[in-house]
Amino acid sequence: TQLLEQSPQFLSIQEGENLTVYCNSSSVFSSLQWYRQEPGEGPVLLVTVVTGGEVKKLKRLTFQFGDARKDSSLHITAAQPGDTGLYLCAGGRDTGNQFYFGTGTSLTVIP
């Protein structure tokens, strides 16, 4: 059983469209990270959020940490083919030395 559930699992959209990916849990996390993974490569960190309600922007990507620190969202504006990949959220806790990765969202942006 995954602590972090992502939705949707698969997403295929046209270039220029907007999209939102959700990462939900019933558990509280002290930090939430988002990664992007391309085929044949390891995940690459996009952002870390640590405060409930925090919003961070990275060019066309907007990340939000839920007020209760149990969920997060990733919004992409005007998606481009280069955004194609597997998006993973990962939660960290005050105790322990591991991240709990989400189930993943596979995004395909069609030119």
Partner 1 sequence: DSGVTQTPKHLITATGQRVTLRCSPRSGDLSVYWYQQSLDQGLQFLIQYYNGEERAKGNILERFSAQQFPDLHSELNLSSLELGDSALYFCASSVGTLIRGINEQFFGPGTRLTVL
**Interface with partner 1 includes 101 (CB under 8 A)?**
yes
Residue of 27, 45, 52, 108 that binds partner 1 (CB under 8 A):
45
Residue pair 72/63 in contact by the 8 Å Cβ criterion: yes
Q: CA-CA distance, 38 to 6, in Å (whole number)?
A: 17
Q: CA-CA distance, 102 to 22, in Å (whole number)?
A: 10
Q: CA-CA distance, 39 to 55, in Å (whole number)?
A: 28
If the CB atoms of residues 68 and 78 are measured against partner 1, the closer one turns out to be 68
Maximal C-alpha separation, the chain: 44
Residue of 22, 24, 56, 100 that binds partner 1 (CB under 8 A):
100
CB 46, min distance to partner 1, A: 11
Site residues, partner 1 (CB under 8 A): 2, 29-31, 40-45, 48, 50, 88, 91-94, 96-104
